[in-house]
């Protein structure tokens, strides 16, 4: 069957790479990039693009009516750090954007919807090491609260209306093609840029702050694999744990020094993102994703570091 795929939030860190990958698989004209901002890269020239604000339901409705998408990826969101600067907007965008898309997917009989959750859905009382799929979840950022609530809505639409919604709790995502979007894990991207530019970086997270991270190539592949899995294999309709690789700024710096020996790392004090990071898991148990749709990580810390430096350099 020929798919018609909407990617809403196509200009962001994930959207930029997802659109390119989906267009390779399905053909350029079958993947419609949608964003509130004009794309400043090749997405526009490489296939259809529509201006969309997910909060404007009438305009969103027209896009669904025009394309009758078989799949929708909803990526538009405010992330953890940016969300704390504007909590009401973060809630509105992250929550009502999702509800608008879920409702329109039902009306226009979209076959599959993808919506990302995050490690931010966990909180201070969640187990920190090897955080299980099911445990106490008490997020304390508006981003995390919206992700946890969104997970519940996804499961609700599946159970109540049979909508095939799928989701992954992403760890921090590391990539070089598009800038990160205002998250707590962004240090792990900035560090590579500064390492190449000036062989030094000042981290806003402390030396020992361990967080789960993943290279974008793995995240995109995993997302598409989840969306391609047979519906009967999907046992989780809230959101799947996704582990990636866990490290601290100090460990990442040591890996970078294998390529840039004089790289120096220093640390800021009292950055508000530290408290957010402290409330998140240090590592994740993603055995359910491995079991249900055969998930396997490819990029470890060494491979990721090498690839980041190589691509940013060129």
Active site residues: 143
Site residues for ligand SER, 218-277, by CB under 6 A, read none
The residue range among 18-26, 44-52, 57-65, 181-189 that interacts with ligand SER, by the rule CB under 6 A, is 181-189
Identify the residue among 69, 123, 150, 183 touching ligand SER (CB under 6 A): 183
Helix 187-198 and helix 301-313: axis angle, to 10°? 50
79 contacts ligand SER (rule: CB under 6 A): yes
Q: 291 burial class (0-12, 13-18, 19+ CB within 10 angstroms)?
A: exposed
14 vs 256 by CB, closer to ligand SER = 14
> Left, alpha or beta for 241 (phi > 0: left; psi -120 to 50: alpha)?
beta
The residue range among 31-39, 56-64, 115-123, 160-168 that interacts with ligand SER, by the rule CB under 6 A, is 115-123
69 vs 116 by CB, closer to ligand SER = 116
Element (H, E) at 214: strand 211-215
Identify the residue among 80, 100, 239, 305 touching ligand SER (CB under 6 A): 80
Shortest Cβ contact with ligand SER: which residue?
Answer: 183
Q: Are 159 and 152 in contact (CB under 8 A)?
A: no
215 contacts ligand SER (rule: CB under 6 A): no
Q: 């997405």: which residue's tokens?
A: 43
Alpha-carbon distance of 212 to 127, in angstroms, equals 14
48 vs 87 by CB, closer to ligand SER = 87
Alpha-carbon distance of 6 to 48, in angstroms, equals 10
CB of 130 to ligand SER, least distance (A): 18
119 vs 145 by CB, closer to ligand SER = 119
Q: Are 238 and 167 in contact (CB under 8 A)?
A: yes
Q: 């060494």: which residue's tokens?
A: 302
CB of 238 to ligand SER, least distance (A): 16
How does DSSP assign 53-88, residue by residue? -TT-HHHHHHHHHHH--SEEEE-----HHHHHHSHH
Site residues for ligand SER, 133-152, by CB under 6 A, read 143
209 contacts ligand SER (rule: CB under 6 A): no
Identify the residue among 170, 176, 187, 201 touching ligand SER (CB under 6 A): 170
184 vs 209 by CB, closer to ligand SER = 184
Alpha-carbon distance of 67 to 52, in angstroms, equals 13
118 contacts ligand SER (rule: CB under 6 A): yes
- SS3 of residue 264 by DSSP: strand
Site residues for ligand SER, 9-38, by CB under 6 A, read none
Distance from first CA to last CA of the chain, Å, rounded? 38
Q: 């508000």: which residue's tokens?
A: 272
CB of 272 to ligand SER, least distance (A): 12
282 contacts ligand SER (rule: CB under 6 A): no
- SS3 of residue 6 by DSSP: strand
Binding residues for ligand SER, how many (CB under 6 A)? Answer: 11
**Which residues of this protein are in contact with ligand SER, per CB under 6 A?**
79-80, 118-120, 143, 170, 172, 183-185
């Amino acid at each position: 069957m020929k798919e018609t795929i909407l990617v809403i939030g196509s200009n962001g860190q994930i959207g930029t790479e997802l659109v390119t990958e989906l267009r390779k698989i399905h053909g350029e004209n079958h993947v419609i990039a949608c964003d509130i901002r004009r794309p400043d890269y090749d997405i526009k020239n490489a296939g259809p693009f529509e201006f969309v604000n997910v909060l404007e339901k009438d305009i969103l409705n027209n896009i669904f009516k025009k394309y009758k998408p078989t799949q929708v990826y909803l990526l538009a969101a405010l992330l953890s750090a940016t969300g704390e600067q504007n909590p009401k907007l973060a809630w509105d965008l992250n929550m009502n954007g999702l509800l608008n898309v879920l409702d329109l997917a039902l009306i226009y009989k979209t076959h599959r919807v993808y919506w990302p959750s995050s490690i931010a859905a966990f909180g201070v009382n969640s187990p920190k090491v090897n955080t299980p799929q099911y445990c106490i979840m008490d997020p304390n950022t508006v981003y995390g609260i919206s992700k946890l609530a969104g997970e519940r809505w996804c499961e609700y639409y599946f159970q109540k209306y049979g909508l095939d919604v799928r989701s992954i709790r992403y760890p921090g995502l590391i990539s070089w093609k598009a800038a990160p979007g205002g998250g707590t894990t962004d240090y792990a991207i900035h560090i590579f840029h500064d390492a190449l530019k000036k062989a030094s970086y000042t981290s806003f997270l402390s030396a020992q702050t361990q967080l789960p991270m993943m290279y974008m190539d793995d995240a995109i592949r995993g997302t598409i694999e989840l969306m391609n899995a047979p519906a009967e294999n999907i046992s989780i309709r809230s959101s799947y744990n996704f582990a990636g690789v866990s490290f601290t700024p100090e460990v990442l710096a040591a890996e970078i020094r294998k390529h840039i020996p004089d790289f120096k790392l220093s640390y800021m004090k009292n950055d508000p993102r530290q408290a957010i990071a402290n409330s998140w898991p240090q590592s994740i148990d993603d055995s359910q994703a491995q079991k249900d749709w055969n998930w396997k990580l490819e990029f470890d810390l060494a491979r990721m570091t090498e690839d980041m430096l190589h691509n940013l350099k060129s």
